[in-house]
Amino acid sequence: MKYGHFDDKNREYVITNPQTPYPWINYLGNEDFFSLTSNTGGGYTFYKDAKFRRLTRYRYNNVPIDDGGKYFYIKDGDVTWSPGWKPMKTRLDSYECRHGMSYTKFNSAKNGVEAQILQFIPLGFWGEIQKVSLKNTASETKKLKLFSFIEWCLWNAEDDMTNFQRNFSTGEVEIEDSTIYHKTEFKERRNHYAFYSVNAPIDGYDTDRESFLGLYNGFDNPDVVNQGTPKNTEAHGWSPIASHYIEVELQPGESRDFIFMLGYVEVDKDDKWERKAVINKKPAKAMMAKYNTVEKIDTAYDDLHTYWDRLLGKINIESSDDRLDRMVNIWNQYQCMVTFNMSRSASFFESGIGRGMGFRDSNQDLIGFVHQIPERARERIFDIASTQFEDGSCYHQYQPLTKKGNSAIGGDFNDDPLWLILSTTEYIKETGDFSLLDEMVPFDNDASRAKPHFDHLKASFYHVVNNLGPHGLPLIGRADWNDCLNLNCFSDDPNESFQTTGNKKGKTAESLMIAGLFVVYGKEYVKLCKRIGKDTEAKEAEKHVKAMIEAVKKDGWDGDWYLRAYDYYGKKIGSNENEEGKIFIESQGWCSMAEIGKKEGMVEKSLNAVKEHLDCEYGIVLNSPAFTKYYIEYGEISTYPAGYKENGGIFCHNNPWIMIGETLLGRGDQAYGYYTKIAPSFLEDISELHKVEPYVYCQMIAGKEAFKPGEAKNSWLSGTASWNFFAITQYILGVKTDYDGLVIDPCIPSKWDGFKMSREFRGATYKIEVQNPDHVSKGVKRILVNGKEIPSNTVPILEKGKAHSVQVIMG
């Protein structure tokens, strides 16, 4: 069953039934200022950091779900309705929510009134615009009462929902003209405030939540709206809100537009006050003046479109399947921008207060984003590298506002450092900019300990070399990519966190996943060293990579697949000998990508075993059989019910590793088959089972051993976005960036006749047309660049500012 449809021309998903199986959301904002907005108007806004600078309040885990947001109430006679359906939930004559590229639109109608709301954040602006247009389509005059509503968060989102003894006494607002200013804590340590304005005279307002709603009422039953008259309240403590009241008279056929703005302002410490107790409103007024007419809004909205045209224009494909085209051309790239911006901080599954930017997460997010805005990728690489230590270890997470490592979580996730080699080399391959290797980048955010960025890569590489276990395989530390494989944790205390507890400081638990990862990015490190003339270092590093390959062959192979790990006691994990968890996806993915033992048939056997034991109708599960009891020596992985999350769930993030492995074997039908099982646009028809948005990837789909296979959770913020983009564009469609050009090596379903890709690369546009006359999956017979055959399948760097034709004949 579907709840809407794709509108590819406008790059929108159009939801036509507000009662989606879960809130289906969108992100507004691209740089510093962000909003999350659901298909019923729920959501919230923050500046840079969803924990420390939360503008509006949101209650996760609420009943009913997704209550609280940017709400409008239209009172038309006895009937009150909301254009986003919620909060009033009045039956609408029509409803449409269009989630587009950094904007959301609602088009709704009731009893001869049409309402359109356009929500977006202009580029470079610290404010959300809500353009509300009301039109009278009836034959009589309409006297409408329009109420807006938002609820302020007292800045620190965690404190806001825990520290009521203080917070119920601190709230402060100011009201001037049509603007409500939120200034809680401004008089002491904060140099920032927020405001909610409208570009029209208002007929009243409210700023105290209890007065507006009534103490015992929900958002769907507000006293003030019921009575039809505002109370003009000024909040003192409790829960400050901002609600405007406007009387709108519309003749038949007449329409009116209102521009609401939710803004954030920072002022200089010495310039905080206009006069005693009155905040300096100058910057806020300048923001309002910038967007106070429909023309100005339209221009800003056009600019946003142009911005996305440009970003999405960089990679564009034409295949025989719309579902693939819309993933590659629109939604997957869009999601990569969102994961780049948010890491794992704020979604409808991540509360914005738990996790900041992840070291491994943000590095991986870059590979789906670097082609869009390389300059921002460069800056991000330095931010991440700055949270590393000289020995290569690093903080697992950092806060976006301070960019400082998060000491509550600490480090020792031994896969973390290697991902820096991935992001850095992918950045250079995309841009050709080797200069970042020479930039001075601090260790542990301490400028006096800065070293060239290259030294960070070296430290990353040797962190593995210096932390090997009894079999010469990498020690796992607290966990590797799989946060839940906590082999040194040994916790039987429910009050301990699996991620931060290490009851056994082990030097025995080893990871085959890190081993494969090390071989892949170790080789990349060697290749990079050679490029930049560090031959001695390249030779030295090569020895370690070779040793790792040998170690995996000797002690990492189980006969039909790669082992997953050795536990603290030196026992095998992911072996046929085990009763549960006989085979795991991560080591099959990474050791296959590393092509360890390919000649001996190991890769083929491993991927066949994945097919046989891990693949199911909805994707590839993480491990099988899933654990049915708690193994203290394995940690969190065995706490999840079978079939969910890291215990036998389809963890979509790692499925593309197998797809990539398949392409290295040339099995295009299989690789693409896996792709289509988890790509959201291919799941649109089963939306009622899948539950989450059909336009973005989710972290996990319940696996074959779950209670409800196919049901998904945790959409949006997952490494799934960048890895699937990487796998489909660079390995299946096979247009891979490299230091000297674009390597073309597609691995596609044999029944395809070909496809087209337009790819911007180093300032030129490559118009690639792949033909597959012999219906093979892999193999390039000839490549013609601007009509001339080239000797290899690396298309060189071509003249900037021009479009070049690249004709590829497979066979």
- The reply on whether position 358 binds ligand NOJ by CB under 6 A is yes
Could you tell me the two tokens for 703? 């696996």
Nearer to ligand NOJ, 4 or 516 (CB): 516
Query: What span, in angstroms and rounded, lies between the C-alpha atoms of 159 and 223?
Result: 28
Q: Which stretch binds ligand NOJ (CB under 6 A): 42-50, 146-154, 477-485, 510-518?
A: 477-485
Nearer to ligand BGC, 174 or 646 (CB): 646
Give the three-class secondary structure for 13.
strand
460 binds, among ligand BGC, ligand NOJ, none (CB under 5 to 8 A by kind): none
Task: Quote the least distance from Cβ 363 to ligand NOJ, whole Å.
Answer: 10
297 binds, among ligand NOJ, ligand BGC, none (CB under 5 to 8 A by kind): none
Q: Which stretch binds ligand NOJ (CB under 6 A): 20-28, 308-316, 481-489, 753-761?
A: 481-489
User: Which of 135, 281, 360, 572 lies at the binding interface for ligand NOJ (CB under 6 A)?
Assistant: 360
Query: Measuring CA to CA, which residue among 334, 261, 329, 248 is closest to residue 70?
Result: 261
Q: List phi, psi (to 5°) of 365.
A: -60, -30
8 catalytic? Reply is no
Pairing of strands 764-771, 803-810: parallel
| Residues 615 to 654 in contact with ligand NOJ, rule: CB under 6 A | 646
Burial of 494 from C-beta contacts in 10 A (0-12 / 13-18 / 19+)? exposed
Place of tokens 């020895």: 543
Give the three-class secondary structure for 234.
coil
Task: Quote the least distance from Cβ 450 to ligand NOJ, whole Å.
Answer: 27
- The reply on whether position 478 binds ligand BGC by CB under 6 A is no
Q: Residues 520, 504: contact at Cβ < 8 Å?
A: no
Give the three-class secondary structure for 288.
helix
Q: What is the DSSP letter of 553?
A: H
- The reply on whether position 646 binds ligand BGC by CB under 6 A is yes
| Residues 622 to 641 in contact with ligand BGC, rule: CB under 6 A | 636
User: Which of 482, 488, 588, 758 lies at the binding interface for ligand NOJ (CB under 6 A)?
Assistant: 482
Nearer to ligand BGC, 500 or 576 (CB): 500
Query: What span, in angstroms and rounded, lies between the C-alpha atoms of 284 and 267?
Result: 10
Rounded to 5, what percent of the chain is helix, strand, coil? 30, 30, 40
360 binds, among ligand BGC, ligand NOJ, none (CB under 5 to 8 A by kind): ligand NOJ
Task: Quote the least distance from Cβ 713 to ligand BGC, whole Å.
Answer: 11
User: Which of 66, 128, 361, 558 lies at the binding interface for ligand NOJ (CB under 6 A)?
Assistant: 361
Query: What span, in angstroms and rounded, lies between the C-alpha atoms of 116 and 242?
Result: 21
- The reply on whether position 484 binds ligand BGC by CB under 6 A is yes
Position with the least CB separation from ligand NOJ: 483
The 3-class SS string of 101-146 reads CCEEEEEEEECCEEEEEEEECCCCCCEEEEEEEEEECCCCCEEEEE
Give the three-class secondary structure for 398.
strand
Nearer to ligand BGC, 347 or 499 (CB): 499
Task: Quote the least distance from Cβ 545 to ligand NOJ, whole Å.
Answer: 23
Which residues touch 787 (CB under 8 Å, ≥6 apart)? 805, 807
Task: Quote the least distance from Cβ 646 to ligand NOJ, whole Å.
Answer: 5
- Phi-psi map region of 361: left, alpha, beta (phi>0 left; psi -120 to 50 alpha): alpha
- The reply on whether position 647 binds ligand BGC by CB under 6 A is no
482 binds, among ligand BGC, ligand NOJ, none (CB under 5 to 8 A by kind): ligand NOJ
Query: What span, in angstroms and rounded, lies between the C-alpha atoms of 560 and 586?
Result: 15
| Residues 198 to 227 in contact with ligand BGC, rule: CB under 6 A | none
Query: Measuring CA to CA, which residue among 94, 106, 132, 103 is closest to residue 41?
Result: 106
Nearer to ligand NOJ, 483 or 662 (CB): 483
- The reply on whether position 621 binds ligand BGC by CB under 6 A is no
Residues in binding contact with ligand NOJ, number by CB under 6 A = 9
76 binds, among ligand BGC, ligand NOJ, none (CB under 5 to 8 A by kind): none
User: Which of 76, 174, 365, 483 lies at the binding interface for ligand NOJ (CB under 6 A)?
Assistant: 483
Task: Quote the least distance from Cβ 692 to ligand NOJ, whole Å.
Answer: 16
* DSSP tally for the chain: helices H, then strands E: 20, 44
Q: Residues 87, 67: contact at Cβ < 8 Å?
A: yes
358 binds, among ligand NOJ, ligand BGC, none (CB under 5 to 8 A by kind): ligand NOJ
361 binds, among ligand NOJ, ligand BGC, none (CB under 5 to 8 A by kind): ligand NOJ
Query: What span, in angstroms and rounded, lies between the C-alpha atoms of 618 and 463?
Result: 37
Place of tokens 């409500």: 180
- Phi-psi map region of 348: left, alpha, beta (phi>0 left; psi -120 to 50 alpha): alpha
Task: Quote the least distance from Cβ 498 to ligand NOJ, whole Å.
Answer: 11
Q: Residues 215, 242: contact at Cβ < 8 Å?
A: no
Task: Quote the least distance from Cβ 517 to ligand NOJ, whole Å.
Answer: 12
510 binds, among ligand NOJ, ligand BGC, none (CB under 5 to 8 A by kind): none
Query: Measuring CA to CA, which residue among 122, 130, 127 is closest to residue 83?
Result: 130
Site pattern 484..513 for ligand NOJ (x: CB under 6 A): x-----------------------------
- The reply on whether position 395 binds ligand NOJ by CB under 6 A is no
Nearer to ligand NOJ, 130 or 720 (CB): 720
- The reply on whether position 483 binds ligand BGC by CB under 6 A is yes
Helix ranges, 192-242 (H): 209-213, 223-227
Task: Quote the least distance from Cβ 484 to ligand NOJ, whole Å.
Answer: 6
Nearer to ligand BGC, 63 or 408 (CB): 408
b/e string for 279-306 if b means 16 or more Cβ within 10 A? bbbebbbebbeebbeeebbeebbeebee
Site pattern 425..464 for ligand NOJ (x: CB under 6 A): ----------------------------------------
Which residues touch 143 (CB under 8 Å, ≥6 apart)? 247, 248, 249
Gyration radius of the chain's alpha carbons: 28
222 binds, among ligand BGC, ligand NOJ, none (CB under 5 to 8 A by kind): none
Task: Quote the least distance from Cβ 628 to ligand BGC, whole Å.
Answer: 17
Give the three-class secondary structure for 700.
strand
Nearer to ligand BGC, 590 or 640 (CB): 640
Which residues touch 310 (CB under 8 Å, ≥6 apart)? none
240 binds, among ligand NOJ, ligand BGC, none (CB under 5 to 8 A by kind): none
- The reply on whether position 645 binds ligand BGC by CB under 6 A is yes
Helix (H) or strand (E) holding 452: strand 446-452
Task: Quote the least distance from Cβ 344 to ligand BGC, whole Å.
Answer: 7
The amino acid occupying position 89 is K
128 binds, among ligand BGC, ligand NOJ, none (CB under 5 to 8 A by kind): none
Query: What span, in angstroms and rounded, lies between the C-alpha atoms of 72 and 40?
Result: 11
Query: Which is catalytic among the residues 483, 555, 558, 567?
Result: 483
- The reply on whether position 672 binds ligand NOJ by CB under 6 A is no
- The reply on whether position 182 binds ligand NOJ by CB under 6 A is no
Task: Quote the least distance from Cβ 343 to ligand BGC, whole Å.
Answer: 12
Task: Quote the least distance from Cβ 423 to ligand BGC, whole Å.
Answer: 19
Q: Residues 195, 180: contact at Cβ < 8 Å?
A: yes
Crossing angle for the helix pair 512-531 and 585-593, to the nearest 10 degrees = 20
Query: What span, in angstroms and rounded, lies between the C-alpha atoms of 59 and 64?
Result: 10
Which spans of this chain sit near ligand BGC (rule: CB under 6 A)?
A: 483-484, 499, 636, 645-646
Positions marked active-site: 483
Which spans of this chain sit near ligand NOJ (rule: CB under 6 A)?
A: 344, 358, 360-361, 481-484, 646
